[in-house]
Amino acid sequence: MLLLGRHLTHEHIVAGLATALRAGALTADAVALEARKAAQVEDEPAVEVPAPRPVAGPGAGTVTFLHEWRLNHLPQDTRPLPSVSHYDQLLRHRRAGGGDLREGEAP
């Protein structure tokens, strides 16, 4: 996001932030895309584009974000939980003379 200001004006970045926020796409990629689209619209000559007709009924499309799709299609994680027991052995270090180390002492 910070580097986007090197190539686009402040107004385009703010427009990109606002558009991405309205769409619910809270990623830096979405903001950059919308900011570039705002800059491109300003640079191009005005062309009248007919408004798309709203899709209604049972065949209406839905938006699925890529990260949600990936999370829903991941296999079940069957790995065991991590263990730190091997680190606990390092904490039980004893002196050669038989006594425990005191706090702040080096072995």
How does pLDDT run across 76-102, given as a tens digit for each residue?
Answer: 889 999 888 888 878 776 656 555 555
> Does position 52 have pLDDT exceeding 70, yes or no?
no
For the ranges 16-20, 35-39, 70-74, the lowest mean pLDDT is seen at 70-74
Task: Say if 93 falls within a structural domain.
Answer: no
Number of domains composing the chain: 1
- pLDDT tier at 54, thresholds 50, 70, 90: low
The token pair at 31 is: 């903001």
What percent of the chain has pLDDT above 90? Answer: 7
Looking at the DSSP assignment, which residues form a beta bridge with residue 100?
94
C-alpha 1, offset from chain centre:
12
> Does position 72 have pLDDT exceeding 80, yes or no?
yes
Q: How far apart are CA 3 and CA 8, in angstroms?
A: 9
Question: In sequence order, what are the residues at sequence separation of 6 or more whose Cβ sits closer than 8 angstroms to the Cβ of residue 8?
Answer: 16, 35, 36, 39
Check: CB of residue 36 under 8 Å from CB of residue 16: yes
Task: Say if 5 falls within a structural domain.
Answer: yes
According to the model, what pLDDT value does residue 78 have? 92
On whether the pTM is more than 0.85, the answer is no
Task: Say if 94 falls within a structural domain.
Answer: no
Show the domain range for 32. 1-43
Task: Say if 48 falls within a structural domain.
Answer: no
